[in-house]
Amino acid sequence: MSQTEADASLALDRYERLILVALQANARLTNQELASQVGLSPSACWRRVKALEDAGVILRYAAILDPKKIGVGECVFVHVSLTRHSRALSTEFADLMLAHPEVVECFFTTGEADILLRVVIPSVSAYDRFLENVIFSAPGVSQVHSNFALRQIKFETALPLQID
């Protein structure tokens, strides 16, 4: 974390942190409910939420779905190694992953693999097609290692915030 990033995270006051904790737990709270929960007037609460949105602290609001109930119950962690490291190849691979909604997370990493993907897919055969049509045909891919999740132990979307 750069000093600028550290300073930005420390700049959040207690009310802003309370707002963020509350919205991470339930983004459908009305402004009135949120204000009451964090101990602010509705107008002061609205101004703070708007400022957090404008500053990019709050990126978006989302509904969290049950993958099994919508037919994408298989979760695969894919470790991809590239043949060489270049900005052009990295950008091309990243753009390709952005174009595929089954790739729900993509990270450039250190360690044995260059890229870690989290792919959600309906079945093993669908994953095989994804490998053949997308990953194996991507330029610069040298190795792919896949790990299927057997059971989810913990899944959180809320980031930890220290409330003073």
What's the Cα-to-Cα distance from 110 to each of 2, 19, 113, rounded to whole Å?
A: 18, 34, 7
Name the pTM for this structure: 0.86
pLDDT one digit per residue (tens) for the chain, 164 residues = 455 554 555 589 999 999 999 999 999 999 999 999 999 999 999 999 999 999 999 999 999 999 999 999 999 999 999 999 999 999 999 999 999 999 999 999 999 999 999 999 999 999 999 999 999 999 999 999 999 999 999 999 999 999 87
Question: From the CB of residue 114, how many other CB atoms can be counted at a distance below 10 Å?
Answer: 23
Determine whether domain 68-148 maps to CATH 3.30.70.920.
yes
Determine whether domain 3-54 maps to CATH 1.20.1090.10.
no
- What is the Cα–Cα distance from 65 to 15, expressed in whole angstroms? 29
The domain spans of the chain are 3-54, 68-148
